[in-house]
Homo-oligomer: A and B are copies of this chain.
Amino acid sequence: MISTTETGQKKGQATKNQTKRVFQFADAFKAFDGNRGTMREALGGKGAGLAEMTASGVNVPPGITVITASCREYSNNGQSMPQGLMEEIKQELSLIEAKVGRKLGDAEKPLLISVRSGAKFSMPGMMDTILNLGLNEKTVASLAKMTGNKRFAWDSYRRFIQMYASVVLELSKDKFEDLIEDKKDELGITLDTEFTAEQLEELANEFKQLVKKVSGKPFPENTDEQLALAVEAVFKSWNNSRAIYYRNLNKIDHNLGTAVNIQAMVFGNMDDTSATGVCFTRNPSTGEKTLYGEYLVNAQGEDVVAGTRTPKKISEMGKEMPKVYEELIATAAKLESHYRDMQDIEFTVEQGKLYLLQTRTGKRTAAAAVKVACDLASEKIINKNEALGRVEPLQLNQLLLPSFDFEDKDKAKKSGRHLATGLNASPGAAIGEIVFDPNESESLSKQGRKVILVRVETCPDDIHGIVPAQGVVTSRGGMTSHAAVVARGMGKPCVAGCESFKVDLQKQEVQVAGTNQILRKGEIISIDGSTGEIFKGAIKTQDPNLSKEFGTLLQWADEVRKLGVRANADTPDDAKVARQFGAAGIGLCRTEHMFMSQERLPVVQQMIMAANDSDRALALAKLLPMQKEDFIGIFKAMEGLPVTIRLLDPPLHEFLPKLSELIAQVATLRATSPKSPELKAKETLLRKVEELHESNPMMGLRGCRLGLLYPDISKMQVQAIFEAAVALKKDGKNVHPEIMIPLVGHVNELKVARTELEQVAKDVMQREQTTVDYKFGTMIEIPRACLTADEIAEHAEFFSFGTNDLTQMTFGYSRDDAEGKFLQRYMEGIDCLGEKQKILNENPFEVLDRNGVGKLMKIAVEQGLKARPDLKLGICGEHGGEPSSIAFAHQIGLSYVSCSPYRVPVARLAAAQAILDISEKDK
């Protein structure tokens, strides 16, 4: 009897099935009104699957399922078979026998069956499968005759005995293995495949003798007995120790019980009208609507796997077995329309009759995912919204970048060419010869050679070497290190913080830790910025190729989504790319990158080193026209769209040489040429760098703090922004600058900075007699800003959450330090009384931490909107391009996300999915 709680909500159905314990595959789906949940509970996952596949109208070898409640009854009754259950099974089985025209135990036309367990949740540890139940002295001969393959028949029989003895009779496997080994020794062979039919027959008989000897009873010849014991064995296996352990570990209810699936065996090796195969209903690589797979005539599934015969392409079946092939095509269509997705199927043809053994959702490439989703929607199998849900947003990223050929990369791995794995700092595939020197990167690239720049870490001085390189590798630094940020901005592959690369810049070589390999200048390597892997030699790449469907899908996404999508872009080129990918403006333009270009850095350094105000003013005056040109370019590329410009953010020492290098240089010069003018110059520089040095620069003199203490810099920037905007406005172009003041933690910082800077803006507009539509706002990246957002909103027209820094401060993690030093260990797990316990499931710099950082954001949104109901709210940290974080941004009511140009398509799709998720939850 099934208790009502387990058979689901519908009362009528519960009553209908109340006394039925055994269901035909063919009836079950209807009996449970197609309710997948109820079916899973009553029939187990496997049984429900078989029922549904049968109901989809395809030909499945017939069979029956004994419901899970019977297993519970068995357990609760002190492990005794429920009364009348075997009779009910026999009764239903007789219908199967009638259907296939064979009978269990029949000498002429024996029915062979498989018996499988199948609980609600997939559960290793329980009894799995017994194949070919029904074989005995008599039926084995019939099998030999039917398949014309005596060896196959006896091999099946000895396997059945072996499996049955171990699983049902609970005899040790070892003794059977010993017998096989003895036989091999005796015959002087080494492989199972070398046994002849006769030798296998001998083995089967020896197995049976062994069973009798060990268990004291002969191996059951009676097929009913075989079946009864097998069903009981499945029930028993629910409570074996491995199953209990697994359920404890995975918190699965011990009271669920397992179903038993009994299914007719079919044989693809009967004759030349029989076959076996696997195929996808569409091409899983391209998504094209055509069967894709392979088959073997007169063969069993194992033959495909064993690789002893070469399978044929599925399309050849059209010539060889045209009728079956037609049926297979029709079956594919039926399955797709039932399951509403591309399927990966296993089938067998027995004497011209097609049987489906298994179907499941087919895995596919990103390109295929996009095409299949769009095609299914065009074919009206799914609707547009469902199509949007069928593509994992991050997959889209792959489509925009070259990637390594999967097989060739796999081959490289298998042949030991994998060198090391660092952080996947900027996605994409790159191949080139190693160079260590940025100048050399530049000169070799000019000669048309492809190079990978390998450094300990990079700095602004190296930009000219990064730009022409195919990719960048650093041995130090995290996901926000200079190399990583710059490479992502350029869409250039980068592997950062690869600590096992011991880079020796002087010797111009890399020692690969844990190996005795040394890589020298000029050696070819392949780097995968999407995974962080580095390989020796070249790996084949695939170019990106954006399909028509790519555009269609994103257009559908745009129709659905509420969240705006902007890009983080610092140059006119970035801005153009972003706009091509559908960005509706710039959410973060980092002006510091403008300061770091090769020709400007000396001017910036001159400004920093200025001994007095007038020297500083001189340097700033040189920077002004450069900045103005930058903004003109960006505004043009984003004409008509808003451009959020963040004023200078990093601490000034980032524009000067590194302290440690200067200390070493000065110490060396003091020891070698104490009177040189070079020493004097270096000492002056060192003093300035020491003066600017900070213990924790991340929390030091940067952002608006810098702007408040050195207002001339931000004033120059605002002047450049407005002079650029006014110039374009006069040209009839529409520009919408949004000035973003970074790192505000106290409302007064914003109030004072804004007051001072807005005056500069007004002065420019008045002088030029032209007004521009502009906004002032702030980056919300300090916990205190979230907590006092109501005060801050009084002085900001927009908030943009800088979740990189906000995550750093909220967790107290310096990203550069944490990723290398402990975050990895936190995610892998820490020993706790001998067991590994994960501290974090995800890297909070990749996936927004809703519980902590998210809580602060919610506070900020609520308080901000309370103070200023039309406040614009965005996010411009890296989370702006990560789907689960985008969903959260949508949930808490942000207006837009901003991400790197190459993530814009990802964000568009994720934003649409965020809506769909919510409407699903509303159901």
Contact = CB atoms under 8 A, between A and B. Distances in A.
B748 A840 contact: yes
Given A671-B667, A832-B756, A813 B748 contact: no
A837 interface: yes
Nearest to A660: B663
Contact of A833 (B670, B759, B784): B759
Contacts of A301: none
27 contacts: A663-B663, A667-B671, A695-B816, A696-B814, A696-B816, A698-B699, A699-B812, A699-B814, A701-B818, A701-B821, A701-B822, A709-B821, A709-B822, A711-B831, A745-B811, A746-B839, A746-B840, A748-B840, A749-B839, A752-B837, A756-B833, A759-B833, A783-B810, A783-B856, A784-B852, A784-B853, A791-B851
A281 interface: no
B787 A855 contact: yes
Contacts of A809: 783, 809-810, 812
A708 interface: yes
Contacts of A705: 821-822
A825 interface: yes
The A contact surface, by secondary structure, is helix
Closest 10 pairs (CB-CB, A-B): A696-B814, A667-B667, A671-B671, A784-B852, A699-B814, A700-B817, A664-B667, A694-B817, A696-B696, A782-B812
A568 interface: no
A237 interface: no
A697 B695 CA distance: 8
A496 interface: no
Nearest to A750: B839
A808 to B, nearest CB: 6
A672 interface: yes
A604 to B, nearest CB: 19
A659 interface: yes
Instruction: Report which residue of A749, A756, A809, A856 has the largest number of chain B beta carbons within 10 angstroms of its beta carbon.
Output: A809
A603 to B, nearest CB: 24
Interface in A795-839: 805, 808-814, 816-818, 821-822, 825-826, 830-833, 837-839
Contacts of A787: 810, 851-852, 855-856
Interface string A631-675: 000000000000000000000000000011001111110111000
A788 interface: yes
Contacts of A698: 695-696, 699, 812, 814
A701 B837 CA distance: 19
Contacts of A671: 667-668, 671-672
Interface string A447-488: 000000000000000000000000000000000000000000
Interface of A: 659-660, 663-668, 670-672, 694-701, 705, 708-709, 711, 743, 745-746, 748-749, 751-752, 755-756, 759, 781-784, 787-788, 791, 805, 808-814, 816-818, 821-822, 825-826, 830-833, 837-840, 849, 851-853, 855-856
Contacts of A811: 745-746, 782, 784
Contacts of A831: 711, 756
Nearest to A821: B701
A254 to B, nearest CB: 26
A481 to B, nearest CB: 9
Contacts of A810: 745, 782-784, 787, 809
A707 to B, nearest CB: 10
Given A659-B660, A663-B664, A752-B837, 14 more contacts: A694-B821, A695-B698, A696-B697, A699-B813, A709-B825, A745-B810, A745-B812, A748-B839, A781-B812, A782-B810, A783-B810, A784-B810, A784-B849, A784-B852
A727 to B, nearest CB: 26
A85 to B, nearest CB: 47
Contacts of A813: 699, 745
A656 to B, nearest CB: 15
A13 B791 CA distance: 43
Contacts of A839: 708, 746, 748-749, 752
A783 B844 CA distance: 15
Nearest to A755: B832
Contact of A700 (B660, B670, B818, B830): B818
Contacts of A667: 663-665, 667-668, 671
Nearest to A825: B709
Nearest to A692: B821
A849 to B, nearest CB: 8
Contacts of A700: 814, 817-818, 821
Given A670-B668, A708-B830, A833-B756, A808 B699 contact: yes
Contacts of A708: 822, 825-826, 830, 839
Contacts of A812: 698-699, 743, 745, 781-784, 805, 809
A82 B61 CA distance: 114
A437 B821 CA distance: 36
A821 B808 CA distance: 21
A756 to B, nearest CB: 6
A661 to B, nearest CB: 9
A513 to B, nearest CB: 13
B783 A852 contact: yes
A783 B812 CA distance: 8
Contacts of A825: 708-709
A477 to B, nearest CB: 9
A369 B173 CA distance: 93
A743 to B, nearest CB: 7
A887 to B, nearest CB: 20
A761 B711 CA distance: 57
Contacts of A805: 812
A812 B832 CA distance: 33
A783 B748 CA distance: 22
A814 B748 contact: no
Contacts of A838: 748
B752 A830 contact: yes
A837 B751 CA distance: 10
A201 B2 CA distance: 124
A748 B837 contact: yes
A787 B812 CA distance: 13
Contacts of A664: 663-664, 666-667
A783 B807 CA distance: 10
A441 to B, nearest CB: 25
Chain B CB within 10 Å — which of A781, A784, A838, A851 has the most? A784
A542 to B, nearest CB: 37
Nearest to A805: B812
A817 B856 contact: no
A479 to B, nearest CB: 13
A826 B701 CA distance: 12
Contacts of A814: 694-700
Contacts of A696: 696-699, 814, 816-817
Contacts of A701: 817-818, 821-822
A840 B808 CA distance: 24
A695 B745 contact: no
A749 B826 CA distance: 9
Nearest to A784: B852
A315 B732 CA distance: 89
Nearest to A812: B782
A671 to B, nearest CB: 4
A857 to B, nearest CB: 11
Contacts of A751: 837
The residue among A659, A755, A818, A830 with the most chain B CB atoms within 10 A of its own CB is A830
A700 B745 CA distance: 22
A751 B833 CA distance: 12
A728 B680 CA distance: 63
A708 B697 CA distance: 26
Contacts of A791: 851
A805 B813 CA distance: 12
Contacts of A822: 701, 705, 708-709
Contacts of A853: 784
Given A668-B670, A756-B833, A830-B708, A699 B817 contact: yes
A787 B844 CA distance: 15
